[in-house]
Amino acid sequence: MSLFFPSWEVFRFAEERKQVRHENVFESGCLSDSFSVVLIFIFQGTALDSITRFATTSFFTTGSEDSCLSRNESVLYRKSSPYKPSSHLVSKLRSYEELHKRCGPHSDSYKRSIKQLKSGQINHNSSDCRYIVWVAGYGLGNRMLSITSAFLYGLLTDRVLLINQEYEMIGLFCEPFPNASWILPEDFPFKNKLRRFKQNYDHSFGKMVQSNTFDCSTELLPSYLYLFLSHDCSHHDQLFFCDQYQAPLSKVPWLIMRSNLYFVPSMFLMSSFDQELNKLFPDKETVFHHLGRYLFHPSDRVWGLITKYYQDHLARAEKRIGIQIRIFHAKTSPFEYVMDQILDCIRKEKLLPEVGTEKSIASSSNNQTSKVVLLTSLFRDYFEKLKKIYGEHPTKTGEVIAVYQPSHEGRQRTWSNSHNVQAWAEIYLLSLSDELVTTAWSTFGYVAQGLRGIRPLILYNQTTPNPPCGRGVSMEPCYLTPPTFDCKALTTTVDTGALVPHVRHCEDHIWGLKLFNSS
């Protein structure tokens, strides 16, 4: 199916949605009278935005187009992306969708592969379907980044991505692929044991390499392998990113991957993927931007929270500023230091106007909020301080500043479904900002900036940072704990941030790796 459709269908779509959603969206002040013009711009400019996926939504087995409202309606809230995906990426995604339809859960190919997996009698030379099963670890930001990494690996190696969905992930995302689910079925062999797989599991790739039992002979390769690619993986686990192991790995039908990292930069260092990646992503810092927008659409449950909060608090502002605060260690990041850093950053970058010393005078009811600050943090203190500053004193420019914080749960509750629902809603709301301030090393912030398609201002993790923040040079997420060895020598340590022009060290983490445009 062609990804594009005639412009008259855009207008028909706009009119139909206008009639259906008139009371909920248009009367909220979210949109201006230039609605048709905006749609034309998005239709022409970005091949992977939600509007262009409208043509495929009716094919989802989960129901009608309304079973995933965000897929169509995100265009009403999100700024259009200036980054156009390559034609090769669009073609690759269409091909993957066909592969997922043919090989996905409950297909004949899937059933045949499961039967062979149970029996242990695998034909490694067959052209049948191959799979990569993603297993969760750590917070939602980590999960979304590692899912994207696993998906890209699947694109490069023609593997079908299946998600081992635990309770805490239920109901967060729409199904991303037409005609088939990406959820690992409940009857998958040893599904209940996947979360308990350890680094030294017998079928672990790293352990087998270390013990010299990972033989490249197809007769000796196992029917499945466990890939442990989390932040605390070993040197032998990381050999997965060496070209010489990719050929034998391609013969293993099932790869079960646990990761909490954005390991995409390491794939850009592999010669076996180099040519294809260059065709897929000529603009190197748009990998997560394109794949994240393609994969992650809020479920109707989450979308309802997002749209209501947006309409209630953000819609009428002339400018929206997102500030994401992540405190990793309270002792090394006391409130006073972090708050001063935020205020210094706001002042240095002129994000908000300065306030006067006089007490505020009751504002006229006709005053329109000029700027809205959306602050996300597990703690409420930062919100209270910022709200007090702009609530008790008028700005020198006369602008009206509103400050909002959707939640403040006090601690991260990774295994809570409701916590992850709230986290996903807040990530998405941040991605609707005109300007974004994020915390160094935070995967929560990485996801928001990538979905938005913006180089954020980064709050540095230092006790007395000077400067308090700096503009990111790339909007890509950081691979926080990458390999540091030479794949040819295997034991020699090298600076993996100096091997190719487009993979360099992160602005916010000196040991991390990140994709940059080489220019």
The residue written with tokens 């991303």 in the block is: 176
SS3 436: strand
* Cα-based angle 514, 516, 519 (whole degrees, multiple of 5): 155
Which of 165-179, 217-231, 377-391, 476-490 has the least mean pLDDT? 217-231
| Domain limit, last residue, from 285, 312, 337 | 285
Measure the CA dihedral 113/118/120/124, to 10°.
10
In contact, 251 and 130? CB cutoff 8 Å: no
Domain boundary among 228, 250, 285: 285
Tokens encoding 491: 């034991």
Give the start-end residues of each E strand in 280-398.
319-324, 371-376
Give the rounded percent of residues in the chain with a pLDDT score beyond 70: 82
480 within a domain of the structure (yes/no): no
**Is residue 323 domain-shared with residue 271, that is, in the same domain?**
no
Same structural domain for residues 307 and 271? no
Whether 43 is in a domain gets the answer: no
**Rounded CA separation 346/373 (Å):** 11
Highest mean pLDDT among 65-74, 121-130, 172-181: 172-181
Give the number of residues written for the chain.
519
Angle at which helices 287-295 and 443-452 cross, to 10°: 90
Alpha helices per DSSP H over 188-299? 205-210, 235-238, 246-249, 264-267, 271-280, 287-295
Residue 324: which pLDDT band, with cuts at 50, 70 and 90?
very high
Domain count, the chain: 2
364: Cα separation from own chain's centroid: 41
Do 424 and 459 reside in the same domain of the chain?
Answer: yes
The answer to whether the beta carbons of residues 114 and 68 sit under 8 Å apart is no
> How many Cβ atoms are within 10 Å of 385's Cβ, its own excluded?
15
pLDDT at 3 over 60: no
Domain range enclosing 339: 300-475
| Tokens encoding 381 | 């203190």
Torsional class of 453: left (φ above 0), alpha (ψ -120 to 50), beta (otherwise): left
Tokens 């959306």 belong to: 374
* Residue 327, in any domain of the structure: yes
Pick 358 or 52 by higher pLDDT.
358
| DSSP state at residue 356 | P
Mean confidence (pLDDT) of the chain: 83
Please name every residue paired with 160 in a beta bridge, in sequence order, or none if there are none.
131
- Whether 230 and 259 have beta carbons less than 8 Å apart is answered as yes
Query: 207 pLDDT exceeds 50?
Result: yes
Tell me, yes or no, whether 19 lies in a domain.
Answer: no
Q: Is 18 a residue whose pLDDT tops 60?
A: no
Residues 442 and 417 in one domain: yes
pLDDT greater than 50 at residue 7: no
Let me know if 157 is exposed, middle or buried by CB neighbors in 10 A (0-12, 13-18, 19+). middle
275 & 306 share domain: no
Q: Are residues 150 and 281 in the same domain?
A: yes
Q: Residue 54: inside a domain, yes or no?
A: no
Burial class (CB within 10 angstroms; exposed 0-12, middle 13-18, buried 19+) of 315: middle
Go through 120-145 and write b for each residue having 16 or more CB atoms within 10 A of its CB, e for each that does not.
eebebeeeebbbbbbbbbbbbbbbbb
Q: Give tens-digit pLDDT for 68-124.
A: 999 999 999 998 899 999 999 999 999 999 999 999 999 999 999 998 888 777 776
Q: Give the domain CATH number at 426.
A: 3.40.50.11350
Note whether residue 272 is domain-resident: yes
Q: How far apart are CA 431 and CA 408, in angstroms?
A: 19
Residue 279 and residue 320 in one domain:
no
Report if residue 290 sits inside a domain. no
Q: What is the DSSP letter of 310?
A: I
Place of tokens 């890509």: 476
- Rounded CA-CA distance 411/438 in Å is 18
> CB neighbours (10 Å) of residue 358?
9
How far apart, in whole angstroms, are the C-alpha atoms of residue 65 and residue 58? 5
What the block records as the tokens of 277 is 């990646």
Is residue 355 situated within a structural domain? Answer: yes
Tell me how far apart the terminal alpha carbons of the chain are, to the nearest angstrom: 36
**Is 450 in the same domain as 394?**
yes
pLDDT at 42 over 80: no
* 263 and 116 both lie in a single domain: yes
Could you tell me what percentage of the chain is helix, strand and coil, using 3-state DSSP and rounding each to the nearest 5? 40, 10, 45
Which is higher by pLDDT, 414 or 318? Answer: 318
- Are 281 and 388 part of one and the same domain? no
Residues 6+ apart with CB under 8 A from 513: 265, 266, 478, 479, 482, 496, 497, 503, 504, 505, 506
Spatial neighbors of 71 by CB under 8 A, at least 6 apart, are 50, 53, 54, 57, 65, 174, 297
Instruction: Verify that 466 and 327 share a domain, yes or no.
Output: yes
Predicted TM-score (pTM) of this structure: 0.86
Residue pair 305/59 in contact (Cβ under 8 Å)? The answer is no
Beta bridge partners of 324: 376
User: How many CA atoms does the CB half-sphere of 474 hold within 13 Å?
Assistant: 25
SS3 417: helix
Residue in the structure block whose two tokens are 């930062």: 382
Among 37-51, 195-209, 220-234, 417-431, the least confident range: 37-51
Say if CB 269 and CB 503 are below 8 A apart. Answer: yes
CA angle 352, 356, 362 (to 5 degrees): 95
Residues 259 and 311 reside in one and the same domain: no
Whether omega for the bond prior to residue 467 falls within 30 degrees of 0, making it cis, is yes
Look at residues 255, 285, 315 and tell me which one is the last residue of a structural domain.
Answer: 285
Residue 44 confidence (pLDDT) above 90: no
- Token code pair at residue 159: 């593997």
